């Protein structure tokens, strides 16, 4: 990407989108455009087409999405599939229509089957049944990958897809109703510390294993892909390392400085038993993650304290 090229970040206020902007600014990219959801409703086809027709971006990072944890995905499946299908379809089609040079679509590791072989390679996609608790979101994200693939085949456009593992970082969502496991635990331990609570309740058994990637690492990797990768198969984005949720909870407890005990609510679902990505394809492009898990959690908690 030329440093003066016009780059559109869809979802610039989210954790991923804001991290992409931070990294682009650090690298000297000066022509970045974006719109708030009030300024541009990405679910409305005519509005998106008008935006692309007027702005004519050279490059697009499609990071806009409706996201949430197990509770949110279970409670609002119709919203998750509709909103995400509309957002990605409108942007991908308009990017083709108005001659975008390259588009990068962001999915999620939840696209893989519930019992996919671990670590999950890109070829595992569509090889089995999805995890029911986030099926609606996963189907929408799979559709985005397929859109990019088939537009690439039929129209010759350079549209690529990246599938991040579980992310955490600055600008994460700490709402206990809609957040993912990492920010939810940070919030729970912090609140318990402030309130003097003797215990923190954690959903499920704590046995599922999860992989976590610091969002600024992801942003750097995405820009690297935009400059160095072009193929129809999506690329797993992660660290290649995972950890049990109960181990994660102990690390967060330590970082926060909470002295009470952890209690498991086994009436709540665990979700997928394990989600570890095979990141060989990413590593072959010449990129590897830099931020260690505990260091990243400390950065996030420091940021959270500044805004609490």
- What is the per-residue pLDDT across 191-207, written as a single tens digit (0 to 9) for each? 999 999 999 999 899 99
Binding-site annotation: residue ranges for NADP(+): 11-17, 106-109, 141, 164-167, 180
**Strand partners of residue 10:** 62
Binding-site annotation: residue ranges for substrate: 188, 203, 210, 270
Question: And the tokens for 48?
Answer: 């998106």
In angstroms, the CA 246 to CA 187 distance is: 16
From 59, 137, 168, 214, the catalytic residue: 137
Neighbours of 118 (CB within 10 A): 16
Q: What is the pLDDT of residues 240-286, one digit of tens each?
A: 999 999 999 999 999 999 999 999 999 988 877 888 999 999 999 99
pLDDT of residue 179: 77
With 0-12 / 13-18 / 19 or more C-beta atoms within 10 angstroms meaning exposed / middle / buried, residue 246 is middle
In angstroms, the CA 295 to CA 57 distance is: 36
Neighbours of 122 (CB within 10 A): 19
CA distances from 301 to 14, 187, 252, 307, 308 (A): 18, 9, 9, 10, 10
Place of tokens 């996201």: 67
Domains of the chain: 7-172+211-241+275-291 (3.40.50.720)
Binding-site annotation: residue ranges: 11-17, 106-109, 141, 164-167, 180, 188, 203, 210, 270
Share of the chain above pLDDT 70, in %: 100
Share the mean pLDDT of the chain: 95
CA nearest to 192, candidates 205, 201, 183? 201
Region 28-38: what's the mean pLDDT? 96
Q: What is the pLDDT of residues 109-125, one digit of tens each?
A: 889 998 899 999 999 99
Band the pLDDT of 180: cuts 50, 70, 90.
Answer: confident
pTM attached to this predicted model: 0.93
Cis status of the peptide bond prior to 213, with omega within 30 of 0: no
Is 137 catalytic? The answer is: yes
């Amino acid at each position: 990407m030329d440093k003066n090229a016009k780059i559109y970040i869809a979802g610039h206020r989210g954790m991923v989108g804001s991290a992409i902007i931070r990294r682009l600014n650090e690298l000297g990219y000066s022509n970045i455009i974006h719109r708030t959801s009030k300024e541009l409703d990405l679910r409305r086809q005519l509005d998106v087409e008008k935006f692309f027709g007027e702005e004519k971006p050279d490059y697009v990072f499609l990071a806009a999405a409706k996201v949430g944890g197990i509770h949110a995905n279970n409670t609002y499946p119709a919203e998750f599939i509709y909103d995400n299908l509309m957002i990605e379809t409108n942007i991908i089609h308009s990017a083709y229509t108005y001659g975008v040079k390259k588009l990068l679509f962001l999915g999620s590791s939840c696209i893989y089957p519930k019992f996919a072989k671990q670590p999950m390679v890109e070829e595992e996609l569509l090889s089995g049944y999805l995890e029911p608790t986030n099926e609606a979101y996963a189907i929408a994200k799979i559709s985005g990958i397929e859109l990019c693939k088939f537009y690439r085949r039929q129209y010759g456009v350079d549209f690529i897809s990246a599938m991040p593992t579980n992310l955490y970082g600055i600008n994460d969502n700490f709402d206990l109703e809609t957040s993912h496991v990492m920010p939810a635990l940070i919030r729970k331990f912090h609140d318990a510390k402030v309130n003097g609570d003797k215990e923190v309740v954690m959903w499920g058994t704590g046995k599922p294993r999860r992989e976590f990637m610091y969002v600024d690492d992801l942003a750097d990797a995405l820009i690297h892909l935009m400059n160095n990768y072009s193929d129809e198969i999506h690329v797993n984005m992660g660290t290649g390392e995972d950890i049990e949720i109960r181990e994660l909870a102990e690390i967060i407890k330590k970082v926060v400085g909470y002295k009470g005990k952890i209690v498991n609510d086994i009436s709540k679902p665990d979700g997928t038993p394990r989600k570890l990505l095979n990141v060989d394809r990413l590593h072959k492009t010449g990129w590897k993650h830099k931020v260690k898990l505990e260091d990243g959690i400390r950065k996030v908690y420091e940021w959270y304290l500044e805004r609490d």
